[in-house]
Amino acid sequence: MLAPGFALGLVLPLLLWVGIHSGVGFHFASYFDSYMVLQKEPAGAVIWGYGIPGAMVTVTLFHDEKAIMTKVTSVKAPSHVWMVILDPMKPGGPYELVAHQTLGIMRFTLKIHDILFGDVWLCSGQSNMQMTVLQIFNATEEMSNTEAYQSVRLLSISLVQSEKELEDLDEVDLEWSKPTSGNLGHGNFTYMSALCWLFGRYLYETLKYPIGLISSSWGGTPIEAWSSPRSLRTCGVYLTRGFPESVTGPRNHSVLWNAMIHPLHTMTLKGVIWYQGESNMDYYRDKYNCTFPALIEDWRQTFHDGSQGQTERFFPFGFVQLSSYLSPEISDERFPEIRWHQTADFGFVPNTVMRNTFMAVTMDLGDRDSPFGSIHPRDKQTVAYRLHLGARAVAYGETDVIFQGPLPDKLELLSRGGLLNITYNRHIQIYLQKLSNRTFEMACCVEHRCKWLPAVMKVFSSHILTLDVLSCTATVAALRYAWSTWPCEYKQCPLYDYHTKLPAPPFTSFIID
Ligand SMILES: *[C@@H]1O[C@H](CO)[C@@H](O)[C@H](O)[C@H]1NC(C)=O
Ligand SMILES: *[C@@H]1O[C@H](CO)[C@@H](O)[C@H](O)[C@H]1NC(C)=O
Ligand SMILES: *[C@@H]1O[C@H](CO)[C@@H](O)[C@H](O)[C@H]1NC(C)=O
Ligand SMILES: *[C@@H]1O[C@H](CO)[C@@H](O)[C@H](O)[C@H]1NC(C)=O
Ligand SMILES: *[C@@H]1O[C@H](CO)[C@@H](O)[C@H](O)[C@H]1NC(C)=O
Ligand SMILES: *[C@@H]1O[C@H](CO)[C@@H](O)[C@H](O)[C@H]1NC(C)=O
């Protein structure tokens, strides 16, 4: 029999050789890096990486060179993955994170520094999420204004697609960084998302603790690319041969979910914001009222499970309702339909299908002269501001923050006089000169044949608006508001909340007599 020492001496170099030559050395997962923000209490941050199966891994958190927490685990086979969950941490920093891998007498060390604890938000979607600070209004001023926000940290994920779910990111465009004019204004539609940044900046101003922002978006992509096959199946969406449009590249179903979202599911997150929908104008538009809620549910379940329960099961999910663009077709209803479907056909969120969500209404932020086309409005500040109000109310429990525009509580056909009253839930501000024949429209129906006719406003009070429906001599079966691609000029829609100046969202509603 060989002496144990001799056996070890033989095995160790062998394991080491396997480790090095199979390309799975000791390292953190791609997105653990200096300057990062880890999710603060009450959740524990998941820390993970790769190593040599069987090796022991010790993760230690240091503050001012003092070890304040140590976690021990071992590298699993055959995945080569090690993973620990830190104890919940109060917001703040900076910390240093050190990981050791021990295999017999061999010891490998990884160190990352200037780590902060705070809230980590993931920002995803298509080009309106991708637009950088360079492309928005007041770009120069916004880019130079970063000094006060060094605790807001950025990570921007590369445009990668995959046929299979990846466990780790293939590539990042911008490693975890402090904000600078250079990384905020790197180029057009390349890191870092302006909306993500501005949202984080507003949150930081309120919360006064670190915010981590992860940007993962790709222009021109439909929701199907960001959805898992499981999630698409629940909506009956399949890649069918007969579909008029061939689905290739980053538009292919699930390819961005696989490569740009799934790798993050093991990370502890606070929430997600989303700006997408334009690309579904002509692609499974009628399914968006299913695919969007299904995506939210699937991301929530996957992130919760992936983080071993650290990311909240029903984490807050905020999104931007589509803005406006100059459609050549006057009666184009594709944008209004997507806006409606973005709310699962409720007209507002949160609702019973979309719990713990919040939405920024932006149909009044159209931008005729955008050098990037009117589909890319440049006022992202107002979008971020409205979205952060939703986050404060829904994600941070500030119950007195108003984040929704006025919503209709009641539609009443008055028996006499051909009038219809809409009762709003809040004090409304009406810009009379902005009313048009397309502001309110009624479905005038004979049997099941309906026509949309203008419903002209007669009078209004602080909460009630009275419309003239006399021009419909048949049955008024439905009413809709702001049902057009471009319902108004910049910040000049007809209806706002009197106090907050938040716009009333568009709606369409049946009238039950
Ligand atoms: C971004 O787009 C604008 C408008 O088209 C153009 O003037 C500018 O040169 C572009 N910047 C870069 C870095 O490509
Ligand atoms: C699109 O996705 C399907 C299913 O994953 C795959 O079979 C097909 O090869 C993909 N097409 C392209 C062009 O990537
Ligand atoms: C979604 O919208 C389509 C088309 O407008 C409609 O037929 C369908 O009933 C809606 N589905 C849900 C779940 O609301
Ligand atoms: C741009 O800056 C001007 C002057 O400070 C300000 O009035 C305007 O609201 C800013 N625009 C946006 C979209 O923030
Ligand atoms: C708006 O509708 C009213 C009533 O149907 C009609 O008299 C008026 O001409 C319309 N105005 C425009 C600008 O279309
Ligand atoms: C309808 O609204 C008007 C104000 O626009 C109000 O004076 C009137 O009482 C309302 N009628 C009913 C039945 O609520």
pLDDT in tens, 115-139: 999 999 999 999 999 999 999 999 9
Mean pLDDT of the chain: 93
**pLDDT grade, residue 512 (50/70/90)?**
confident
Comparing 2-11, 17-26, 179-188, the range with the smallest average pLDDT is 2-11
Between the CA of 285 and the centroid of ligand 3 the distance, in Å, is 10
Residue 472: is its pLDDT beyond 70?
yes
Contact 128, 275 (CB under 8 A): yes
Residue count (the chain): 513
Looking at residue 18, its pLDDT comes to: 46
**pLDDT grade, residue 262 (50/70/90)?**
very high
Between the CA of 138 and the centroid of ligand 4 the distance, in Å, is 6
Residue 241: is its pLDDT beyond 80?
no
Instruction: Give the ligand at the shortest distance from the Cα of 186.
Output: 1
Looking at residue 240, its pLDDT comes to: 63
> How confident is the model over 145-157, as a mean pLDDT?
96
Q: What's phi and psi for 203, nearest 5 deg?
A: -65, -45
Residue 415: is its pLDDT beyond 70?
yes
236 Cβ closer than 6 Å to some ligand 3 atom:
no
Closest residue to atom 4 of ligand 1, CA basis: 371
**pLDDT grade, residue 417 (50/70/90)?**
confident
Instruction: Give the ligand at the shortest distance from the Cα of 376.
Output: 1
Residue 93: is its pLDDT beyond 90?
yes
Looking at residue 6, its pLDDT comes to: 42
Cα torsion through 298, 302, 305, 306, rounded to 10: -170
Q: Which atom of ligand 6 is nearest to the CA of 460?
A: 5
Residues 6+ apart with CB under 8 A from 184: 132, 133, 134, 142, 143, 146, 154, 192, 194, 197
pLDDT > 70 in the chain, percent: 94
Instruction: Give the ligand at the shortest distance from the Cα of 334.
Output: 3
289 Cβ closer than 6 Å to some ligand 3 atom:
yes
H or E stretch at 229: helix 229-233
471 Cβ closer than 6 Å to some ligand 5 atom:
yes
Residue 364: is its pLDDT beyond 60?
yes
Instruction: Give the ligand at the shortest distance from the Cα of 461.
Output: 6
> How confident is the model over 338-365, as a mean pLDDT?
98
464 Cβ closer than 6 Å to some ligand 6 atom:
yes
Looking at residue 146, its amino acid is: T
Q: Concatenated DSSP letters for 300-353?
A: HHHHHHHTTT-S-TT--EEEE-------S-TT--HHHHHHHHTTTTSSSSS-SS
What is the layout of strands, in order, in the sheet containing 81-85? 27-28, 46-50, 81-85
Q: Which atom of ligand 3 is nearest to the CA of 285?
A: 4
Over residues 283-320, the pLDDT tens digits come to: 999 999 999 999 999 999 999 999 999 999 999 999 99
290 Cβ closer than 6 Å to some ligand 3 atom:
yes
Of the options 1.10.10.10, 3.40.50.300, 2.60.40.10, 3.40.390.10, the CATH number for the domain spanning 11-114: 2.60.40.10
Comparing 95-99, 218-222, 254-258, 412-416, the range with the smallest average pLDDT is 412-416
Residue 504: is its pLDDT beyond 70?
yes
What residues does ligand 4 touch, defined as CB less than 6 Å away? 137-138, 379, 381
> How confident is the model over 494-504, as a mean pLDDT?
97
Region of residue 310 (phi > 0: left; psi between -120 and 50: alpha; otherwise: beta): alpha
Residue 21: is its pLDDT beyond 80?
no
Between the CA of 364 and the centroid of ligand 1 the distance, in Å, is 25
Residue 112: is its pLDDT beyond 80?
yes
**pLDDT grade, residue 55 (50/70/90)?**
very high
466 Cβ closer than 6 Å to some ligand 1 atom:
no
Query: Residue written as tokens 């219809």?
Result: 420
Q: Which atom of ligand 5 is nearest to the CA of 453?
A: 5
454 Cβ closer than 6 Å to some ligand 5 atom:
yes
> How confident is the model over 450-457, as a mean pLDDT?
96
Closest residue to atom 11 of ligand 6, CA basis: 421
What residues does ligand 2 touch, defined as CB less than 6 Å away? 163, 239, 248, 252
Contact 180, 142 (CB under 8 A): no
- CATH node for 116-395: 3.40.50.1110
Instruction: Give the ligand at the shortest distance from the Cα of 365.
Output: 4
Q: Which pair of tokens denotes residue 215?
A: 């940007």
Looking at residue 3, its pLDDT comes to: 42
470 Cβ closer than 6 Å to some ligand 5 atom:
no
**pLDDT grade, residue 328 (50/70/90)?**
confident
Residue 494: is its pLDDT beyond 90?
yes
**pLDDT grade, residue 215 (50/70/90)?**
very high
Residue 391: is its pLDDT beyond 70?
yes
Instruction: Give the ligand at the shortest distance from the Cα of 377.
Output: 4
Comparing 10-14, 71-75, 454-458, 476-480, the range with the smallest average pLDDT is 10-14
Closest residue to atom 7 of ligand 3, CA basis: 286
457 Cβ closer than 6 Å to some ligand 6 atom:
no
Comparing 14-18, 229-233, 476-480, the range with the smallest average pLDDT is 14-18
**pLDDT grade, residue 424 (50/70/90)?**
very high
Contact 101, 15 (CB under 8 A): no
Over residues 165-188, the pLDDT tens digits come to: 999 999 999 999 999 999 999 999
Residue 24: is its pLDDT beyond 90?
no
Looking at residue 246, its pLDDT comes to: 65
Looking at residue 22, its pLDDT comes to: 43
Domain boundaries, the chain: 11-114, 116-395, 408-510
Closest residue to atom 10 of ligand 4, CA basis: 138
Closest residue to atom 14 of ligand 5, CA basis: 437
- Give the Cα separation of 34 and 296 in Å (integer): 30
Handedness of CA 283, 478, 504, 358 (dihedral sign): negative
Mutate to test the pocket of ligand 4, among 138, 490, 491 (most ligand atoms within 8 A of CB): 138
Mutate to test the pocket of ligand 1, among 143, 186, 188 (most ligand atoms within 8 A of CB): 188
Q: Which atom of ligand 6 is nearest to the CA of 419?
A: 1
Looking at residue 244, its pLDDT comes to: 55
